[in-house]
Amino acid sequence: MSLALSSQDNDFNSSTATSKGSWLVGGGSNLFFNSTNSKVESNGQELDGLNTLSITLGVGAGYFVANNLVIGLELPVTFSRRKDDDIGFNVRNTTFVVSPFLRYYFGNTNIRPFIQGNIGFGSSKSKNNSDTIIANPNDPLVFQPIDTKSDIFQYSLNGGIAIFISQNVALDIGIGYSSTTTKPDTSDIKFKNNTIGFLAGFNIFL
């Protein structure tokens, strides 16, 4: 299948899909599975946090300001869970981010490598379903059984290949790195997550 898609003898030609003046609809990295290593920053100290499993869904659009170079905006929503069975800790997060991006495609064949960088700002809501509560006021990690809201700052770098399955539709497959800083409204504690994950999604070129 890959050999057929990369051949120039196909009955479609995707060479103009990423030309200057074209539009991209879909966002590319609109499905993202990952496992996250977390750290907590408080009073100038950085502590190991909890492991996080999450999935990101998103839509977006962009405009090609030059051949193969697109500038756009993505609106990713992330659903995640931070859990530690040893202490009965279980928190679920929903995060929404507004994320401008810059993407560049290499070549003009029906299989094209790409790189993409994002920077984003947003907010998240957390719900604590823990069985136990750590409530020591001298401990920088104080978890409370209430819903909380947080501000988000995020940047990411993704890379992979776009496989054109028709003249104007491509499947993205790749890998990405992201760094997310979360600051709850009710605390000075900052949570920092560094994430590596696999991405997949469809883009339409107009």
Backbone angles phi, psi at 3, to 5 degrees: -65, -40
Global confidence as pTM = 0.71
Give the pLDDT score at 66. Answer: 97
| CATH number of domain containing 166 | 2.40.160.20
Counting beta carbons within 10 angstroms of the beta carbon of residue 206, is it exposed (0 to 12), middle (13 to 18) or buried (19 or more)?
Answer: exposed
DSSP conformation class of 17 = T
65-69, 142-146, 198-202: which has the highest mean pLDDT?
Answer: 65-69
| pLDDT tens digits, one per residue of 23-65 | 999 854 444 554 555 555 555 655 455 556 667 777 899 999 9
| pLDDT tens digits, one per residue of 146-160 | 577 888 999 999 999
Host domain of residue 178: 2-205
Among 39, 43, 38, 44, residue whose Cα is nearest residue 138: 43
DSSP conformation class of 51 = -
Residues 34, 203: Cα–Cα separation, whole Å: 21
How does the average pLDDT of the chain come out, rounded? 77
DSSP conformation class of 4 = H
State the total domains in the chain: 1
